[in-house]
């Protein structure tokens, strides 16, 4: 079976208004997973997907996840799983997306109504969830429909897993994926996730790595209750004094982690790897623009991308228990909790990182000779993920990019984490590919979220082309 | 005219239930000055004082202060000023107190309803405002009434100044006092303020000094907006990293201020002064109890009291703009504002302290070699105050303490500030005495605020006895 791209691409172009209408309907459902009173809207969005998939002839199941942890009065929205095609001669691709969205309100500063898809004269389609992640999710449905209407045999068996709690920690999803790995997902040959973004605005990318994240808190306490600094200042050892000194020992202005032993855990960078970074479409101007300032650590692209993807970083997030409001309050906080996290990379193992963090904090605190109590706690950890970009799953995607955009995609990592990636890899044992649809300027999670019409329509072509290329890739080549 | 203490004391004892009822009525008015919707209650409390004072035959005026700064829709509660007696042969004493209170709600953890005076079997009278400052304010009214009912000539002309915004920064009061210094308050011979507390629970004190307070913020900013630590961690210089390092350079665990030049501004301690501290009724156990822990800087009473009253201290209060909620958030804050204050003592002049603080922060920030921007701002400053405890105003008060409690009062300072003290001293040019009624365990500003019945009733005797002793003190002796 040879790829039938031209007919497919023409059909996508022909159906573009219809596909935009489908996105408009989806954006109009305010499926905000973090807001209790909008839970029915999340459920409604799941039902919308269910009915669209059924209309396309897919087998669909809405799987309940039970009550929400810590909010037992709320039912979690169901995971919508679906199968399209059951031909044992075809490869089976499992795709993941989410149908819930971040909160949004006009008052936050949106230029348009966040839950009304609004297209401007530059083809920017504004609306909450347009790029994160309703556009990409509908991309799969649209790819099915375009194949049907072009009378092209669908190239693979498609398994779909669409969740409704991604923006609230994917509650219940890991257990579900693990439970279904050998059941609903058992035929999976490879996994594709479209829930991240191009590095810039022009060149598509395939993403093969994510940093992990280990989050810590340092709790320092002493007095029995908050104190008046007039009465106690100068006579009591103050937890805040100790905390800022301990936090100040973790990392320097140039991002260099000061914890002994961390550097030694990082896999050495190979010469081959270094070369990968030179060709990537990214400039310091891109960084300055997204940063909104020139306050970067490095002056060159390669060091910057490596610092983002390839090396660990440590960020101080804040302090709980201290005075944090505007204005002036002369309190001596009795118990303060400093929060920081380390973005981890190969080959940093979580228990080893924990051990080094704990040893460092305890060592520094000891030098203070304080009578206060110091406790360091790992709040949560997610492991880094790196896939092989030489796998046929990536090769098919690279060819698909070339077929649609006439360029070779950048091979990128992400500095952030998408925990479900590692879950799918571990549960299925198969290669996972991140294949983004949106661009770096889409403002996911921010006001004025948008998806460019070009990214949506060409993205639908990309997803279909990817499946067609998957179908003809020789699985033994990698 | 000789003091007529016995008859006065008997009458106070006889009227004690009546005086407690007066306090009960006052506590029942939730005159919380910081809550907009309770402003009418503050006004109602002012009217209550006005009508009680009129009933006692005082000349009373409720003076408007205009709209509240930054909340122009709210009228400030009036200052209630009053005069009782106009005999040019008598001394004129100006007393100050406040009729507003801190917020309070049962849900905060109160054992009783905060706005219902509740007396337990140990004679503890629980209720918001009982000790701070409704008990002391009513103390002056009760002293007038007991003199009237005992048919004793009132020993002085009493000027009263009761404000309704003390717990919200005494908005508008300084200007008012300065404007009235040569008008309503022009006859003042000395000032007495009852709005602080005994050092312990058994021994009364006269307070002759307060530390000043200079409040600073250090604002460090860089990125145009908050950043995702996955995407930007390792590539951007983070304001929090710089801020904790700058804050960590200000003071050490043992409270030693690390700012060059501060130490040199402090007046040397004399041998005579040192001796004053030895006799004061205070133990390290008192400190451990109020601190709720053993995490003190010093192990002895003298060093501790000197550190509280006589030496400057620096406390770190918190950080605005960073993540401060419970839980975990992986944000890189774009702009963070560290807050700290220095408690100042003689002879630290505010402009000089500001100059040293600014120089230190800028010096330390420079060593970081950061591209971020650092700005240190003096948020507000109040000067220290020290009066002469040898003035007849203090001598009269000391004799009054002996007449009621049969002990010599401790001569104390306070580590905190009561800015109105300095305002009265500067506006009237007269000696100001702080004569507390409540004890160290009264929990002003906290849950379960109380005033012991003994402190209230003996306190009324104390205020009356003080006025009687004032009347016969020879003003030329000091």
Q: Where are the domains of chain A?
A: 5-210+384-477, 212-266+311-382
Pairwise CA distance, residues A428 & A177, whole Å: 9
Taking CA atoms, A161 is separated from A174, A184, A308, A419, A478, in Å, by: 12, 10, 29, 15, 26
Instruction: For residue A272, count CB atoms less than 10 angstroms from its CB and return exposed for 0-12, middle for 13-18, buried for 19 or more.
Output: exposed
What does residue A41 show for φ and ψ, rounded to 5 degrees?
-70, -35
Furthest-apart CA atoms within chain B: distance in Å? 83
Above pLDDT 70, what percent of chain A? 99
Pairwise CA distance, residues B291 & B433, whole Å: 27
Pairwise CA distance, residues A384 & B428, whole Å: 70
> Is B391 one of the annotated binding-site residues?
no
Residue at token pair 């006001």? A447
Does residue A5 carry a pLDDT above 80?
yes
Interchain pair A230, B417: CB under 8 A: yes
Residue at token pair 């257990």? A175
Furthest-apart CA atoms within chain A: distance in Å? 83
Give B405-445 as a DSSP string: HSSPPEEEEESS--HHHHHHHHHH-S-EEE---B-TTS-TT
Taking CA atoms, A56 is separated from A144, B99, B475, in Å, by: 7, 73, 101
pLDDT at B477: 47
* C-alpha dihedral sign at A84, A152, A452, A17: negative
Pairwise CA distance, residues B221 & B374, whole Å: 7
Same fold, A5-210+384-477 and A212-266+311-382: no
Residue at token pair 């004690």? B16
Best of A102, A226, A230 to substitute, by most chain B Cβ atoms within 10 angstroms, is: A230
Does residue A475 carry a pLDDT above 90?
no
Closest CA relative to residue A404, chosen from A9, A44, A3, A140: A9
Average pLDDT, chain A: 95
Pairwise CA distance, residues B429 & B56, whole Å: 29
Q: How confident is the model at residue B474 (pLDDT cuts 50, 70, 90)?
A: confident
User: What tokens does A339 get?
Assistant: 């929060």
Chain B residues inside the 8 Å CB shell of A235:
255, 287, 296-298, 304, 307-308, 313, 415
Conformation bin of residue A298: beta by default, left when phi > 0, alpha when psi is -120 to 50: beta
Pairwise CA distance, residues A163 & A180, whole Å: 14
Which CATH fold would you assign to the domain B212-266+311-382? Answer: Alpha-Beta Plaits (3.30.70)
What's the rounded mean pLDDT across residues B257-276? 94
> If contacts are CB pairs under 8 Å, which of residues 395-454 in chain B contact chain A?
414-417, 445-446
Torsion, Cα of A221, B255, B279, B406 (10° steps): -50
pLDDT at B290: 86
- In chain B, whose CA is at the least distance from the CA of A373? B295
Interchain pair A332, B320: CB under 8 A: no
Give B340-382 as a DSSP string: EEEEE-TT--HHHHHHHHHHHHHHHHHHTT-SSEEEEEEEEEE
Pairwise CA distance, residues B462 & B400, whole Å: 6
Does residue A352 carry a pLDDT above 50?
yes
Per residue in B386-438, pLDDT (tens digit) is 999 999 999 999 999 999 999 999 999 999 888 899 999 999 999 999 999 99
Above pLDDT 90, what percent of chain A? 89
Per residue in B35-60, pLDDT (tens digit) is 999 999 999 999 999 999 999 999 99
Catalytic choice (A41, A50, A100, A442):
A100
What's the rounded mean pLDDT across residues A174-195? 97
Q: Is residue A166 annotated as part of the catalytic site, yes or no?
A: yes
> Is B167 one of the annotated binding-site residues?
yes
CA distance A202 to chain B (A): 19
Chain A residues inside the 8 Å CB shell of B332:
315, 317
- Helices B453-472, B135-149: inter-axial angle, 10-degree rounding: 60
Q: Does A341 touch chain B (CB under 8 A)?
A: yes
CA distance A290 to chain B (A): 8
The end-to-end CA distance of chain A, in Å, is 21
Catalytic choice (B166, B189, B449, B473):
B166
Give A223-274 as a DSSP string: SSS-EEHHHHTTTB--HHHHHHHHHTTTB-TT--B-STTHHHHSPPPPHHHH
> If contacts are CB pairs under 8 Å, which of residues 203-222 in chain A contact chain B?
211, 213, 215, 217, 222
Chain A residues inside the 8 Å CB shell of B312:
234
Beta pairing partners, B329: none
What is the CA A25 to chain-centroid distance, rounded? 24
Taking CA atoms, B209 is separated from B214, B380, B420, in Å, by: 16, 20, 13
* Tally of residues, chain B: 478
Three-state SS at B98: strand
Q: Name the strands in the sheet holding B124-126, side by side, starting at the edge strand that comes first in the sequence.
A: B118-119, B124-126, B450-452
Beta pairing partners, A217: A339, A377
Give A146-169 as a DSSP string: HHHHTT----SEEEEEEES-GGGT
- Helices B39-55, B16-27: inter-axial angle, 10-degree rounding: 150
Per residue in B58-83, pLDDT (tens digit) is 999 999 999 999 899 999 999 999 99
Residues A461, A9: contact at Cβ < 8 Å? yes
User: What tokens does A347 get?
Assistant: 């080959």
What does residue A37 show for φ and ψ, rounded to 5 degrees?
-75, -5
CA distance B422 to chain A (A): 16
Best of B315, B361, B364, B384 to substitute, by most chain A Cβ atoms within 10 angstroms, is: B315
Pairwise CA distance, residues B4 & B44, whole Å: 36
* A to B CB pairs, distance under 8 Å: 282
Per residue in A145-158, pLDDT (tens digit) is 999 999 999 999 99
Per residue in B155-213, pLDDT (tens digit) is 999 999 999 999 988 999 999 999 999 999 999 999 999 999 999 888 999 999 999 99
* Tally of residues, chain A: 478
Residues B418, B434: contact at Cβ < 8 Å? yes
CA atoms within 13 A on the CB side of B29: 21
Give A304-361 as a DSSP string: HHHHHHTS-EEEEEEEESS--SSS---EE-SEEEEEEEEEE-TT--HHHHHHHHHHHH
pLDDT at B478: 44
Residues B62, B46: contact at Cβ < 8 Å? yes
> Is B120 one of the annotated binding-site residues?
no
CA distance B155 to chain A (A): 35
Per residue in A419-445, pLDDT (tens digit) is 999 999 999 999 999 999 999 889 888
Q: Is residue B166 annotated as part of the catalytic site, yes or no?
A: yes
Three-state SS at B399: helix
Does residue B1 carry a pLDDT above 60?
no
Chain A residues inside the 8 Å CB shell of B415:
230-235
Pairwise CA distance, residues A91 & A99, whole Å: 25
pLDDT at A3: 72
> If contacts are CB pairs under 8 Å, which of residues 300-339 in chain B contact chain A?
304, 307-308, 311-320, 322-326, 328-334, 339
A131-135, A237-241, B2-6, B380-384: range with lowest mean pLDDT: B2-6
| Strand-strand pairing, B92-98 and B157-163 | parallel
Q: How confident is the model at residue A2 (pLDDT cuts 50, 70, 90)?
A: low
Pairwise CA distance, residues B162 & B62, whole Å: 10
Closest CA relative to residue B332, chosen from B219, B217, B236: B236
pLDDT at B2: 58
Does residue A406 carry a pLDDT above 50?
yes
> Is B380 one of the annotated binding-site residues?
no
Residues A287, A312: contact at Cβ < 8 Å? no
Per residue in A71-113, pLDDT (tens digit) is 999 999 999 999 999 999 999 999 999 999 999 999 989 999 9
Per residue in B84-143, pLDDT (tens digit) is 999 999 999 999 999 999 999 999 899 999 999 999 999 999 999 999 999 999 999 999
Residues B218, B335: contact at Cβ < 8 Å? no
Interchain pair B248, A248: CB under 8 A: yes
Does residue B273 carry a pLDDT above 90?
no
Chain A residues inside the 8 Å CB shell of B368:
252-253
Three-state SS at B238: coil
Pairwise CA distance, residues A440 & A196, whole Å: 9
Conformation bin of residue A260: beta by default, left when phi > 0, alpha when psi is -120 to 50: beta
Interchain pair B241, A252: CB under 8 A: yes
Does residue A478 carry a pLDDT above 50?
no
User: What tokens does A368 get?
Assistant: 């203070």
Q: Which long-range contacts (CB under 8 A, 24 or more apart) does B146-150 make?
A: B146/B8, B146/B11, B146/B12, B146/B15, B146/B460, B146/B464, B147/B8, B147/B11, B147/B464, B148/B56, B148/B57, B149/B11, B149/B15, B150/B4, B150/B7, B150/B8, B150/B10, B150/B11
Does residue B356 carry a pLDDT above 70?
yes
Pairwise CA distance, residues B299 & B99, whole Å: 39
Pairwise CA distance, residues B335 & B242, whole Å: 11
Per residue in B296-335, pLDDT (tens digit) is 999 999 999 999 999 999 999 999 999 999 988 889 999 9
Which CATH fold would you assign to the domain B5-210+384-477? Answer: Aminopeptidase (3.40.630)
């Amino acid at each position: 079976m040879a790829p039938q791209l031209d007919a497919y691409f023409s059909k996508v172009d022909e159906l573009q208004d219809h596909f935009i209408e489908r996105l408009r309907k989806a954006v109009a459902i305010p499926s905000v997973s973090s807001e209790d009173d909008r839970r029915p809207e999340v459920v409604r969005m799941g039902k919308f997907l269910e009915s669209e998939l059924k209309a396309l002839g897919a087998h669909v199941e809405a799987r309940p996840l039970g009550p929400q942890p810590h909010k037992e009065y709320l039912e979690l929205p169901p995971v919508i799983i679906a199968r399209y095609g059951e031909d044992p001669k075809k490869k089976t691709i499992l795709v993941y997306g989410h149908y819930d969205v971040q909160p949004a309100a006009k008052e936050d500063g949106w230029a348009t109504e966040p839950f009304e898809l609004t297209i401007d004269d530059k083809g920017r389609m504004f609306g909450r969830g347009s790029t994160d992640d309703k556009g990409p999710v509908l991309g799969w449905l649209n790819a099915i429909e375009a194949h049907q209407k072009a009378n092209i045999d669908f190239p693979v068996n498609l398994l779909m897993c669409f969740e409704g709690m991604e923006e609230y920690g994917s509650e219940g999803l890991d257990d579900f994926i693990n439970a279904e790995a050998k059941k609903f997902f058992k035929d999976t040959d490879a996994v594709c996730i479209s829930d991240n973004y191009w590095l810039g605005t022009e060149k598509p990318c395939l993403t093969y790595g994510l940093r992990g994240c280990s989050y810590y808190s340092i709790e320092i306490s002493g007095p029995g209750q908050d104190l008046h600094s007039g009465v106690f200042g100068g006579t009591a050892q103050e937890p805040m004094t100790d905390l800022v000194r301990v936090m100040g020992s973790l990392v320097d202005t140039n991002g260099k982690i000061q914890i002994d032993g961390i550097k030694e855990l990082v896999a050495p960078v190979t010469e081959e790897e270094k070369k990968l970074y030179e060709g990537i479409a990214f400039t310091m101007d891109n960084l300055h623009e997204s940063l909104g300032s020139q306050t970067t650590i490095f002056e060159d692209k390669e060091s910057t991308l490596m610092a983002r993807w390839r090396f660990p970083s440590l960020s101080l997030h804040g302090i709980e228990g201290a005075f944090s409001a505007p204005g002036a309050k002369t309190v001596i906080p009795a118990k303060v909790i400093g929060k920081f996290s380390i973005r981890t990379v190969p080959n940093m193992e979580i228990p080893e990182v924990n051990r080094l963090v704990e040893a460092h904090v305890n060592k520094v605190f000891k030098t203070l000779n304080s009578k206060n109590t110091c406790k360091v706690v790992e709040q949560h950890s997610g492991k880094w993920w790196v896939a092989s970009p030489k796998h046929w799953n990536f090769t098919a995607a690279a060819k698909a990019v070339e077929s649609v955009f006439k360029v070779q995609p950048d091979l990128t990592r992400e500095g952030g984490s998408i925990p479900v990636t590692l879950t799918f890899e571990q549960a299925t044992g198969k290669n996972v590919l991140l294949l983004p649809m949106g661009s770096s300027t889409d403002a996911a999670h921010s006001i004025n979220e948008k998806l460019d019409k070009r990214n949506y329509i060409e993205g639908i072509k990309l997803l279909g082309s990817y499946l067609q290329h998957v179908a003809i890739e020789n699985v033994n080549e990698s």
